[in-house]
Amino acid sequence: MTALLEVRSVAVRFGGVMALSGVDLDVQKDSITGLIGPNGAGKTTLFNVICGIRQPTTGVVLLDNEEINGVPTQKRSAMGIGRTFQRLELFTTLSVFDNVLVAAELARVSNPHAVAREQIELLGLTDRADTIAGELPTGSARLLEVARALAGRPRLLLLDEPASGLDDVETQQLGVLLQQLKSLGIAVMLVEHDMSLIMKVCDQIHVLDLGNVIASGTPEQIQHNPSVIDAYLGAVR
Amino acid sequence: MQQLVAYTVIGLTTGAIYALASSGLVVTYVTSGVFNIAHGAIGMIAAFSYWQVRFEWGWSAPIALIAILGVLCPTLGLVIDRVALRGLAQATEVTRLTATVALMAAFIGIATWIWPPENRQPFRGFFDGNNVSVLGVNVGWNKIIALIAAVVVAGGLRILLYKTRLGIQMRAVVDDRSLAELNGARPARIASASWALGASLAGLAGILLAAEVQLNVVPLTLLVINAYAAAIFGRLKSLPLTFLGAMALGLTEAYLLWGQGQSWFPETIGGFSTSGLRQATPTIFLFLLLMLLPQAKLRAGAARVRERSAIPQWNTAILGAAVLVIGSIAVTGMMTRSNTIYLIQALIMALAVVSLVPLTGYAGLVSLAPLTFAGIGAVLMSKMPGDGNVVSLIAVVVVVALIGAVVALPALRLEGIYLALATGAFALLVSILVFNQGKIFSNGVAEVPPLRIPGVDLSQPRPKAIFLSVAFAVVGLLLVALRRSSLGRQFVAMKDSPLAGATLGMNLVRTKALAFAMSAAIASLAGALDAGKVAPDNYTFDRSLPILLLAIVSGVGSIGGAFFGGMLLGSNTVLASIVPSVSKITQVMPGLIGLSMGRNPNGTASQIATGFRPVTSHPQSLLTALSGIGALWLLTSVDIISHWGFFAALVIWGLGIVPNLPALAVTSGRSRVFCLLIAAVGMGIAAFFDDIFDAVPTGGRLLAIIVLFVVVGNAIRRVHTPVAPTSKSSPDLMGLTGFTPEELSQSDRAIKVVP
């Protein structure tokens, strides 16, 4: 099986700081890949590199075996990369429905209104469709970010802490949704601090610390990896 | 050789003055994050004040300098920081930028008011008439002092920033505001200190500059555009680079001046005169530097937009368009010819204002050049073959749209203040280099032919006014369609989060260029439809500022707001031409209104719309409102009340009484009687307005109507609004905003929080 996304020795330098130093990882089709690590480990930076907001200092990103390093951000969505943001980036003055509609229209789907309605339904936001996005509580706002990203019909969905601000029930529903997306053939990359969610849904987990991948494997393997426990999970147990 | 020395000295002097001004600009920008467009205006005010105390009141130079640079300027800086900008700390960059544009407009207004341009004593520089010989060239003391001042300020700033506690705190705040605050620095105080310092530096530069170029409000204000160029050269951060940029700019200007006196210097290039080239140097410099800035990076967590952008509804839009057109047919039938001409000016202004709706209102981009595009439209229309043919008009609109997009394209890599500055530089360049050409405006005038439409004579005021309101209505409806379309949504999405837009596949450059093209096309109508003789003065940079201000203040997201803003600008001209004393207030008005923006980012129009909302959902009130208008119409048509009476009564009825009708319907007893009494008296005064204000000219009458409507409206509101029991109703209102006070006190009683 060939990987949908391949990250090959990607390094990013901010002045004197190496935000990422030589990261290698693959994301398979039909899979959920977890990306965990303490704050400042470089998770969001890696997302920024994958969707073209930041160019890597060295290294390459391959999508379907093709290098996409020079491809500008706005063209990557047409190639099938969608994402949400840790610090919300909603269209705050548009309604919930219009937020998703803009995404569907930008993706040039054949019936944008229907697609938007469908995604809003999927995320359970139908009741709030006419609310102005800026007035949503954080939990709903996170779900709206997911709905909007899905309206772009991505093959690879990058979710940056989608569960922060959700309550337990909502988090569980999100987990179910992620499984559903996987069965639809969407590859999901998930940055999350909620370990129970990560351990439950992910097929593969990569642990980042100080810009390095310190471990990769199944949830089972990661939970028993001593260096991960040292760097990160230790505090949780 | 002597000439080389002479021009080098001139260049260094000019550079020194620019350096003084630009270092002040950089100091305020880095510590407070506000790019002060009004920086030049502060220098201008300082120069005028210095002239006042030094030459009119005869103070000695040192005392005058202490008074202006040590007292007036720092106070001005503090007041600006505390009063005008502090409330906007969390606002978007567009709003903050507009606030300083408002300041600039206000200062220009105040200066023209206090110091009218007639018979003025000359402004003499320091030790005027005494020269020093430098390498065989006589140099005036003013120039020497400018050079010394620049060196002293450069050294002083260095010591301040690196050796004093205040300076170190300043640098700390620049590095990390919250960290500095945690360590005991007080960013607010430091910002105030830097505003005081920046204002004094602007003042010093203004005074030195005035001695070289004499006192003149607008040029003196705009000459500090040069400071912008130097500050951009320092990337708004580095003071040494800023000084270097200022010197390079001064020298370029001086050598160009030298060159222009030589025989080898071409007087014309391709038939166009090069005389404006030296004057335009700083602006060209600024424009080029902006073009060379690196592509703006996509950034997360941009300022959150406080404004709401409601989607315009078709039925309201069509109703509004119909009311406008029918209203203008009715009103122009009763107006005198000269008043109709004022209405035409107001409608032209409204078109210029509405051109900012797609650009600023929807897409969130600022342009300081709406009238420049109107001017280009007027020029092209006057040069087009076909003499007012509809096809030529379409061609003009298309060409200006293309110009808008092309001009904007290089600027589109920029964001925020840089983009706004680039449009400002473009406006100045077109004014200096293009509109001043004899080829473009022959003898300073261009003749725009009236549009030829079969069966309508648009050279007459009444048909022209009606036609312009039709044009506005059509533009308005098109904009409603735009806002409801996919592209319109993309504009708003880009304003809210360019980053999210890009990750969803939006081509930001293309979207911005489209917004600029549309805006330019609408603005071109304001020029091309303004038939008659037009002068380049109609389309200068400083005239574009009130347009932007009124657009933003009256609600740039809504077409109604734009119309309202245009009418305000238009009434400005009416007042200005009729009551000179009022006109002085109105010169300052746009600036002052602009400063009120911090409290109501949605603009005035949305406030008015909110006021009418209860009426439209209350059939009885709506019926009463409409029959009232019908009755007034009837009374006028049988000559019981005059035209002025009709107009006044319509304003009082529509704006003062109608919004209160639903509330009146539920009031009873004495307060109801009292309200009806106030309404009756107000309407009575309005209806017989002509007899009461017999001797008063138009401007005074308009003022009286406004006062009357405010008094009547507020009196009724006071009486019928029950005193809100909020202070007693609930000890804890957290989150309970969706309830009426009655419901809250009910629930409070139910859970026994209050007896």
Q: What is the pLDDT of residue A47?
A: 94
| Beta strands B446-448 and B137-140, pairing class | unpaired
| B305, B503, B512, B737, best to mutate vs chain A, most A CBs in 10 Å | B503
Q: Which residue type does B469 have?
A: S
Do A144 and A100 contact (CB within 8 A), yes or no?
A: yes
Please name the member of A89, A105, A132 whose beta carbon is closest to the beta carbon of B499: A89
Check CB contact under 8 Å for A94 and B493.
yes
Burial class (CB in 10 A: 0-12, 13-18, 19+), B574: buried
Q: What is the mean pLDDT of chain B?
A: 79
A94-108, A159-173, B739-753: lowest mean pLDDT where? B739-753
Burial class (CB in 10 A: 0-12, 13-18, 19+), A36: buried
**Shortest CA gap B316–chain A (Å):** 19
Q: What is the pLDDT of residue B730?
A: 39
Q: What is the pLDDT of residue B434?
A: 83
Has residue B473 been placed in a domain? yes
Please name the member of B300, B489, B504 whose beta carbon is closest to the beta carbon of A152: B504
Check CB contact under 8 Å for A76 and B503.
yes
Q: Give the C-alpha separation, B594 to B590, whole Å.
A: 6
Please name the member of B490, B495, B497 whose beta carbon is closest to the beta carbon of A89: B497
Q: Which residues contact B513 (CB under 8 A, 6 or more apart)?
A: B405, B408, B409, B412
Q: What is the pLDDT of residue B489?
A: 94
Q: Give the C-alpha separation, B251 to B248, whole Å.
A: 5
Q: What is the pLDDT of residue B727?
A: 38
Has residue B140 been placed in a domain? yes
Give residue-wise pLDDT tens across range A66-101.
999 889 999 999 999 999 998 889 998 899 999 999
B189-198, B265-274, B308-317, B657-666: lowest mean pLDDT where? B265-274
Enumerate the residues of chain B whose CB falls inside 8 A of the CB of residue A137: none
Q: What is the pLDDT of residue B148?
A: 87
**Shortest CA gap B498–chain A (Å):** 9
B331 lies in the same domain as B464: yes
Which range has highest mean pLDDT (B106-115, B186-195, B396-405, B736-745)?
A: B396-405
Top pLDDT among B609 and B81 is at B81
Top pLDDT among B512 and B139 is at B512
Check CB contact under 8 Å for A74 and B500.
no
Range of the domain at B179: 2-90+119-266
Q: Which residue type does B428 have?
A: L
Q: What is the pLDDT of residue B709?
A: 78
- Give kind and range of the element (H or E) at residue B149: helix B141-163
**Shortest CA gap A119–chain B (Å):** 15
Closest CA in chain A for residue B490: A102
Longest dimension (CA), chain A: 51
pLDDT of residue B582 exceeding 70, the answer is no
| pLDDT, mean of residues B466-473 | 94
B68 lies in the same domain as B188: yes
Check CB contact under 8 Å for B504 and A102.
yes
β-strand partners of B112: none
Q: Give the C-alpha separation, B25 to B37, whole Å.
A: 9
pLDDT of residue B585 exceeding 70, the answer is no
Return the structure tokens found at B303: 């300022």
A53-67, A149-163, B441-455, B685-699: lowest mean pLDDT where? B685-699
Angle ∠(B533,B538,B544) on CA atoms, nearest 5:
150
Top pLDDT among B725 and A56 is at A56
Domain edge (last residue) among B497, B512, B540: B540
Please, which pLDDT band fits residue B305 given cuts at 50, 70 and 90?
Answer: very low
Check CB contact under 8 Å for A93 and B305.
yes
**Shortest CA gap A171–chain B (Å):** 23
Q: Give the C-alpha separation, B626 to B658, whole Å.
A: 9
Which range has highest mean pLDDT (B149-163, B291-305, B515-529, B604-618)?
A: B515-529
Do B397 and B351 contact (CB within 8 A), yes or no?
A: no
Has residue B731 been placed in a domain? no
| pLDDT, mean of residues B72-101 | 77
B240 lies in the same domain as B360: no
Q: Give the C-alpha separation, A96 to B17, whole Å.
A: 53
Q: How many CB pairs under 8 A join A and B?
A: 93
Please, which pLDDT band fits residue B214 given cuts at 50, 70 and 90?
Answer: confident
Return the structure tokens found at A114: 């229907």
pLDDT of residue B168 exceeding 80, the answer is yes
A66-80, B254-268, B296-310: lowest mean pLDDT where? B296-310
User: Which ranges of chain A would DSSP assign to H, the alpha helix?
Assistant: 43-50, 73-78, 96-106, 112-122, 138-151, 168-183, 195-201, 219-223, 226-231
Please name the member of A93, A106, A132 whose beta carbon is closest to the beta carbon of B504: A106
Q: Give the C-alpha separation, B59 to B686, whole Å.
A: 53
Where exactly does CATH 3.40.50.300 map onto chain A? 1-80+163-237
| pLDDT, mean of residues B56-74 | 88
Q: Which residue type does B595 have?
A: L
Do B145 and B208 contact (CB within 8 A), yes or no?
A: yes
pLDDT of residue B583 exceeding 60, the answer is no
Please name the member of A83, A93, A98 whose beta carbon is closest to the beta carbon of B503: A83
pLDDT of residue B617 exceeding 80, the answer is no
pLDDT of residue B128 exceeding 80, the answer is no
pLDDT of residue B448 exceeding 60, the answer is yes
Please name the member of B308, B486, B503 whose beta carbon is closest to the beta carbon of A105: B486
Check CB contact under 8 Å for A102 and B490.
yes
Query: What is the three-class DSSP state of B363?
Result: coil
Q: What is the pLDDT of residue B698?
A: 64
Return the structure tokens found at B75: 């106070």
B324-338, B362-376, B386-400, B629-643: lowest mean pLDDT where? B629-643
- CA nearest neighbour of A187 among A199, A212, A173, A204: A204
Domain edge (last residue) among B227, B250, B266: B266
Please, which pLDDT band fits residue B432 given cuts at 50, 70 and 90?
Answer: confident
Return the structure tokens found at B640: 């019981």
| pLDDT, mean of residues B425-443 | 81
Instruction: Look up the ipTM and state it.
Output: 0.92
Please, which pLDDT band fits residue B91 given cuts at 50, 70 and 90?
Answer: low
pLDDT of residue B572 exceeding 90, the answer is no
Please name the member of B301, B308, B506 whose beta carbon is closest to the beta carbon of A132: B308
Q: What is the pLDDT of residue B238?
A: 81
**Shortest CA gap A186–chain B (Å):** 16
Give residue-wise pLDDT tens across range A15-27.
778 889 889 999 9
Q: What is the pLDDT of residue A177?
A: 93
Has residue B228 been placed in a domain? yes
Query: What is the three-class DSSP state of A93?
Result: coil
Top pLDDT among A182 and B213 is at A182
Q: What is the pLDDT of residue B685?
A: 85
| pLDDT, mean of residues B217-241 | 80
Q: What is the pLDDT of residue A34?
A: 94
Q: What is the pLDDT of residue A97?
A: 95
Do A150 and A122 contact (CB within 8 A), yes or no?
A: yes
B440 lies in the same domain as B508: yes
Q: How many Å from the N-terminal Cα to the C-terminal Cα in chain A?
A: 35
B236 lies in the same domain as B338: no
Q: Give the C-alpha separation, B641 to B633, whole Å.
A: 9
Check CB contact under 8 Å for A102 and B505.
no
Q: Which residue type does B66 have?
A: I
- How far is CA B727 from its chain centroid? 40
Give residue-wise pLDDT tens across range B323-350.
889 988 888 888 788 878 888 888 998 8
| Beta strands A17-27 and A156-160, pairing class | unpaired
- Give kind and range of the element (H or E) at residue B226: helix B225-233
Top pLDDT among B110 and A106 is at A106
Angle ∠(B217,B220,B226) on CA atoms, nearest 5:
150
Q: Give the C-alpha separation, A221 to B626, whole Å.
A: 76
Enumerate the residues of chain B whose CB falls inside 8 A of the CB of residue A87: 300-301
Label residues A121-135 b or e (16+ Cβ within 10 Å = b): ebbebeebbeebbbe
Burial class (CB in 10 A: 0-12, 13-18, 19+), B437: middle
Enumerate the residues of chain A whose CB falls inside 8 A of the CB of residue B501: 74, 91, 102, 106
- CA nearest neighbour of B449 among B538, B527, B350: B527
Please, which pLDDT band fits residue B514 given cuts at 50, 70 and 90?
Answer: very high
Check CB contact under 8 Å for A94 and B489.
yes
| pLDDT, mean of residues B381-403 | 89
B464 lies in the same domain as B394: yes
Q: Give the C-alpha separation, B245 to B30, whole Å.
A: 18
Closest CA in chain A for residue B362: A93
Q: What is the pLDDT of residue B288?
A: 81
Enumerate the residues of chain B whose CB falls inside 8 A of the CB of residue A154: none
* CATH number, domain A1-80+163-237: 3.40.50.300
B517 lies in the same domain as B661: no
Return the structure tokens found at A84: 């949400």
- CA nearest neighbour of B225 among B10, B30, B420: B420
Q: Give the C-alpha separation, A211 to A207, whole Å.
A: 10
Q: Give the C-alpha separation, B16 to B144, whole Å.
A: 10
Percent of chain B residues topping a pLDDT of 70: 81
B256 lies in the same domain as B390: no
| pLDDT, mean of residues B19-29 | 88
A39-43, A84-88, B79-83, B199-203: lowest mean pLDDT where? B79-83
Enumerate the residues of chain B whose CB falls inside 8 A of the CB of residue A132: 308
pLDDT of residue B575 exceeding 60, the answer is no
Give residue-wise pLDDT tens across range A102-141.
999 999 999 999 999 999 999 999 999 999 998 888 889 9
| pLDDT, mean of residues B685-692 | 81
Closest CA in chain B for residue A94: B309
Domain count, chain B: 3
Q: What is the pLDDT of residue B754?
A: 63
Please, which pLDDT band fits residue B596 given cuts at 50, 70 and 90?
Answer: low
Polymer length of chain A: 237
Q: What is the mean pLDDT of chain A?
A: 90
Return the structure tokens found at B555: 């609600």
Instruction: Enumerate chain A positions whose Cβ falls within 8 A of a Cβ in B.
Output: 51, 53, 73-78, 81-83, 85, 87, 89-95, 98-99, 101-103, 105-107, 112, 132, 134, 148-149, 152
Has residue B336 been placed in a domain? yes
Do B517 and B404 contact (CB within 8 A), yes or no?
A: yes
Label each residue of B241-267 as H, E or C: HHHHHHHHHHHHHHHHHHHHCCCCCCC
